[in-house]
Chain A
C-alpha cells in the first residue's frame, strides 16, 4: 500500500509491461537440410574445428576446441558435410561452422544413465561437463563453468527460472507446464551438484498451484516473481533471491537439459523456441533440432521474410537482429521473431531532451539519459561513477525514449569501455607493484656491494 502510494507520487509514466501467461502447445519442427554448429563461444571467441569433411560424428562428440578445452557438442549421429563459414545467432562472424548431415536413425542417448540420488556432486558435474550443456542466455556458457565444483564462484543460492524473460515469449513457461515435476527434480539435482544452500524454482504467482503440487518432497523452495517484464530477467531474479555474488540463475530449459544428460544419458538435441509472428504475437512453440537453420523454422511456419524486414533471435526487447537466415538454433535461444518493415522505427541521433521518461522506467534506478550522453561523447569515468555497470540491459529506457535514442547500445559501449579501463588500471597497478618488488630485490642485492665499495 505504502509502496503503491509512493510509486504514484514519485513515479511517472511507468509503463506496466505485464507478462501474459498463455498456453501455447509445443509443436515439433524438423530441419530440412543439414544441421549447422557454429564454432563460437557465447561471447564470440572462435574455436578450432576437431573434425573435417567426411568424418562420421556421434552424439556427445565435441566438434571444436579452444586449444585447452573442448566445446560444441554434436547432438546427432551423422556425417560432416563441410566446415563452412557461416553466421551464428549472435552475429559473430569471424569463424567456421560444422555442417552435419544427420542419420535418420540417430538417437540422442549418448551415455549410460546415472542415478542422481547416489551420484556424487563431482560425478554429476563431470556428466554435465561431458554433455557440454550450455546455459540459455544471450551469451551462453557451459553450465559446468557456472555451477558445480569447478565454477568460477562459490554458489550459495541456485535459482531455476521457470518463467519467461520477455513479453510474448512462452517457451520456458510452456516447458515448465509440460515437465514441472522434472524441473523440481532438476533443481534438486543441480543444487546438490552446485553445493548450494538454498535452491529455488522461480515462477509467477499464477502458476503457484502448479508449483506447489510438483515441489513435494524435493526440498526445493518456490520463489515468486511478479509477472512484469524486467522482473524476470536473471539479474532481477537473483536480486529477489537475496542478491550478491553467490546467486546463480539458470533457466528451466537448461536445468532440464542437464537432468536429461544425468538421468537418461541424453545429449541436448532439441530446443523449444517461441515463434513470434509479424503481428507481434506468439504464434507457436517450436521444438526445433539444435543446429536447424532459422530458415527451416520460417519454412515450417509458412512465412517468407521480405527485404527490409527484421528477424530476431530472441524476444522483442533483447533479441539480436539477424542478417541471414542461415544462423542456426542453439541452446541459448528462446524465441525467434519477425518484425515487418512497416513496423520498424529508425533510431535517431538527435540530442536528449531530458524528458525523464527513461529515468522513471529504469528497474535499477540508473540515469540512462546521462549515461547515454556520456557514452556519446566518450566520457566513461563519470558513467562508471553513476553505476553504469549495474545496467541489466532490459531496454525499457530506449523503448520509451522521446528522442528515439539508442540508449541500450550507448550503455553497452560504456559498459565495455568501463570494463576495459578498470582492467587497464588493474594491470597498471599490478605492473607497478611488480616493478617495486623487483627494485626492492635489486636494492637488497646491491646493498652489500655498495657497502663494500664505500669500504674499499
Chain B
C-alpha cells in the first residue's frame, strides 16, 4: 500500500557542484599561513636581545625581568610565548569582534566561517612581539568593524580589512608598531618569509588564489627595484641593483603581501588582465613608497592604494562572444 508520494528535493541546476565554500577558502588561507606563524614563534626564541624592548614597550620590564630570574625561564622562551600569544590573541579577537558586531547589527552569524580569524591572524602577523595587548585588540576590532562590516561584510569591502586595521595602528601608535630595533613576526627571520612563500605557492596549487596576482606583485617589485634602484640607490640602502632587488624580498613584507594580501578575493580584480595590472601596480607602489616614503613600511599604503584601483581595473573585461540562442 502506498501511503503517500515520495517527496523529492527540487532546485535549479547545475546539480553537480564543486564542494568549495567561503569557509573552506578562509580555512585554507589560515592553514597556509600557520606554518609561517609557527616558524615566526620559534624564531623569537633565538632573539633574546630583544627582551629589553619587549619589557620596555609593555611597561613591564621589572615584572618580566623578575619572572625570568625567579622561575628560571629563558628569555628566548618568554619571547616565543609572547609571539604565540600575539597571534592567538589576534585570531581570537577577530572571531570575537565578528560575533559581537553580528549580534549588534542583527546579522546572521558567520563568525566561524574563518574570515574574522584570518583577518585577526594577518593583523597579528604584522605586529612586533612587544605590541601592547590593547593596541592589538583595537587594531583587530577596527579592522573588522571599519574595514569589513561597515561596508557590508565579506564581498563588499573595497579595502583589505587587515590593512585598514594595521594602518590605523601605524598612524596612531607608530612607536608600538615599529619599536626601534624590532621586526614584526612576519618578517622576524628569513625562514618565516620562506615558509610564507611555500604556503602561498600551496594556495596557488590548490586553486584558492590566482597565481597571476602574486606573480605580478613580485614582477612589479622587481621592475620597481630596477627603476628606483637606478634612480635613487642611496635611498634603498645602496649596493648593486641585484643587491637592492634581493633586499626587497629577504626582509620586510613583500612576500606575505603578494600571496596573502593582494590575493584577497573581495578586494582584488576578478578578470585576468586586470589581475596582472593590479599586481604590477601594487609592486611598483611598494617600491615607490619604499624609496620616497617617510614610513618604515610601504605595504599597507601600497595595498590600500591598489585596492582603490580595483573597481576601475575590473572594467577591463574580455569581449563577450556573441551567441545566437536557438529556440528549441
Smallest beta-carbon distance A326→chain B, Å: 9
Given A352-B155, A390-B320, verify A345-B211 contact (CB < 8 Å): no
Bound together, the chains give a CA A74 to CA B28 distance in angstroms of 57
Smallest beta-carbon distance B285→chain A, Å: 21
Inter-subunit contact B9/A387 (CB<8 Å)? no
Inter-subunit contact B25/A355 (CB<8 Å)? yes
Given A351-B153, A356-B270, A387-B320, verify A308-B9 contact (CB < 8 Å): yes
Bound together, the chains give a CA A320 to CA B15 distance in angstroms of 9
Asked if A365 is at the interface (CB within 8 A of a chain B CB), the reply is yes
Inter-subunit contact A355/B265 (CB<8 Å)? yes
- Mask, B4-40, CB within 8 Å of A = 1, is 0111111111111111111001000000000000000
Given A10-B272, A316-B16, verify A351-B328 contact (CB < 8 Å): no
Inter-subunit contact B6/A367 (CB<8 Å)? no
Asked if B289 is at the interface (CB within 8 A of a chain A CB), the reply is no
Q: Which residues of A contact B327 (CB under 8 A)?
A: 139, 141
Q: Residue of B at shortest CB range from A352?
A: B155
Inter-subunit contact A137/B6 (CB<8 Å)? no
Q: Which residues of A contact B194 (CB under 8 A)?
A: none
Give the interface segment out of A115-123, A190-198, A231-239. A231-239
Q: Which residues of B contact A236 (CB under 8 A)?
A: 323
Which of B155, B273, B326 has most A Cβ within 10 Å? B326
Asked if A75 is at the interface (CB within 8 A of a chain B CB), the reply is no
Asked if A54 is at the interface (CB within 8 A of a chain B CB), the reply is no
Inter-subunit contact B155/A344 (CB<8 Å)? no
Given A308-B8, A316-B15, A399-B14, verify A245-B324 contact (CB < 8 Å): yes
- Mask, B289-325, CB within 8 Å of A = 1, is 0000000000000000000000000000111111111
Smallest beta-carbon distance B167→chain A, Å: 22
Smallest beta-carbon distance B235→chain A, Å: 34
Q: Which residues of B contact A247 (CB under 8 A)?
A: 324
User: Which of B15, B25, B269 is close to A402, meaning CB atoms less than 8 Å apart?
Assistant: B25
Inter-subunit contact B153/A317 (CB<8 Å)? no
Q: Residue of A at shortest CB range from B25?
A: A402
Inter-subunit contact A280/B16 (CB<8 Å)? yes
Smallest beta-carbon distance B202→chain A, Å: 15
Asked if B271 is at the interface (CB within 8 A of a chain A CB), the reply is yes
Smallest beta-carbon distance A267→chain B, Å: 20
Smallest beta-carbon distance A343→chain B, Å: 9
Q: Which residues of A contact B111 (CB under 8 A)?
A: none
Inter-subunit contact A353/B272 (CB<8 Å)? no
Bound together, the chains give a CA A9 to CA B323 distance in angstroms of 25
Inter-subunit contact B271/A356 (CB<8 Å)? yes
Given A247-B324, A249-B326, A392-B323, verify A354-B8 contact (CB < 8 Å): no
Q: Considering the complex, which residues of chain B in the window 222-274 have a beta carbon less than 8 Å from any beta carbon of chain A?
A: 265-266, 268-273
Asked if A324 is at the interface (CB within 8 A of a chain B CB), the reply is yes
Asked if B48 is at the interface (CB within 8 A of a chain A CB), the reply is no
Bound together, the chains give a CA A234 to CA B327 distance in angstroms of 10
Bound together, the chains give a CA A425 to CA B98 distance in angstroms of 47
Inter-subunit contact A354/B266 (CB<8 Å)? yes
Q: Which residues of A contact B321 (CB under 8 A)?
A: 239, 363-365, 390
Inter-subunit contact B320/A235 (CB<8 Å)? no
Inter-subunit contact B8/A322 (CB<8 Å)? yes
Q: Residue of A at shortest CB range from B215?
A: A9
Q: Considering the complex, which residues of chain B in the window 95-109 have a beta carbon less than 8 Å from any beta carbon of chain A?
A: none
Inter-subunit contact B325/A389 (CB<8 Å)? yes
Asked if B212 is at the interface (CB within 8 A of a chain A CB), the reply is yes
Asked if A92 is at the interface (CB within 8 A of a chain B CB), the reply is no
Given A238-B326, A311-B8, A344-B9, verify A339-B25 contact (CB < 8 Å): no
Q: How many residues of B contact A (CB 8 A)?
A: 51
Smallest beta-carbon distance A36→chain B, Å: 16
Inter-subunit contact B210/A356 (CB<8 Å)? yes
Asked if B172 is at the interface (CB within 8 A of a chain A CB), the reply is no
Smallest beta-carbon distance B112→chain A, Å: 14
Q: Which residues of A contact B53 (CB under 8 A)?
A: none
Q: Which residues of A contact B270 (CB under 8 A)?
A: 354-356, 359, 367, 369
Given A10-B272, A356-B271, verify A351-B155 contact (CB < 8 Å): yes
Inter-subunit contact B265/A243 (CB<8 Å)? no
Inter-subunit contact B6/A306 (CB<8 Å)? yes
Q: Residue of A at shortest CB range from B207?
A: A13
Q: Which residues of A contact B13 (CB under 8 A)?
A: 312, 314, 317-321, 395, 398, 408
User: Which of B8, B25, B320 is close to A310, meaning CB atoms less than 8 Å apart?
Assistant: B8
Bound together, the chains give a CA A146 to CA B22 distance in angstroms of 44
User: Which of A137, A323, A356, A401 is close to B10, meaning CB atoms less than 8 Å apart?
Assistant: A323
Bound together, the chains give a CA A253 to CA B161 distance in angstroms of 56
Asked if B154 is at the interface (CB within 8 A of a chain A CB), the reply is yes
Q: Residue of B at shortest CB range from A239?
A: B323
Bound together, the chains give a CA A324 to CA B6 distance in angstroms of 8
Q: Which residues of B contact A344 (CB under 8 A)?
A: 9, 11, 15
Q: Residue of B at shortest CB range from A359?
A: B270
Q: Residue of B at shortest CB range from A396?
A: B14
Bound together, the chains give a CA A181 to CA B212 distance in angstroms of 49
Q: Residue of B at shortest CB range from A41?
A: B328
Q: Which residues of B contact A307 (CB under 8 A)?
A: 6-8
Inter-subunit contact B15/A337 (CB<8 Å)? yes
Asked if B66 is at the interface (CB within 8 A of a chain A CB), the reply is no
Bound together, the chains give a CA A311 to CA B275 distance in angstroms of 41
Asked if B72 is at the interface (CB within 8 A of a chain A CB), the reply is no
Inter-subunit contact A12/B211 (CB<8 Å)? yes
Inter-subunit contact A364/B320 (CB<8 Å)? yes
Asked if A149 is at the interface (CB within 8 A of a chain B CB), the reply is no
Smallest beta-carbon distance A243→chain B, Å: 7
Asked if B152 is at the interface (CB within 8 A of a chain A CB), the reply is yes
Inter-subunit contact B265/A353 (CB<8 Å)? yes
User: Which of A234, A244, A324 is close to B5, meaning CB atoms less than 8 Å apart?
Assistant: A324
Asked if A350 is at the interface (CB within 8 A of a chain B CB), the reply is yes
Q: Which residues of A contact B207 (CB under 8 A)?
A: 12-13
Asked if B156 is at the interface (CB within 8 A of a chain A CB), the reply is yes
Bound together, the chains give a CA A6 to CA B324 distance in angstroms of 26
Q: Which residues of B contact A137 (CB under 8 A)?
A: 328
Smallest beta-carbon distance A11→chain B, Å: 7
Which of B110, B265, B270, B275 has most A Cβ within 10 Å? B270
Query: Which 6 A-B residue pairings sit nearest by Cβ, starting from the closest?
Result: A141-B328, A395-B14, A356-B270, A351-B155, A387-B320, A409-B12
* Apart from A308-B7, A356-B275, 20 more pairs, CB < 8 Å: A243-B323, A245-B324, A307-B6, A307-B7, A308-B8, A310-B9, A311-B8, A318-B14, A337-B15, A345-B17, A351-B155, A356-B270, A366-B320, A367-B271, A392-B323, A396-B14, A399-B16, A404-B21, A406-B11, A408-B14
A selection of 7 A-B contacts at a CB cut-off of 8 Å is A234-B326, A312-B15, A322-B10, A350-B110, A353-B154, A356-B275, A400-B20
B residues apposed to A, CB below 8 Å: 5-22, 25, 110, 152-156, 207, 210-212, 265-266, 268-273, 275-276, 317-328
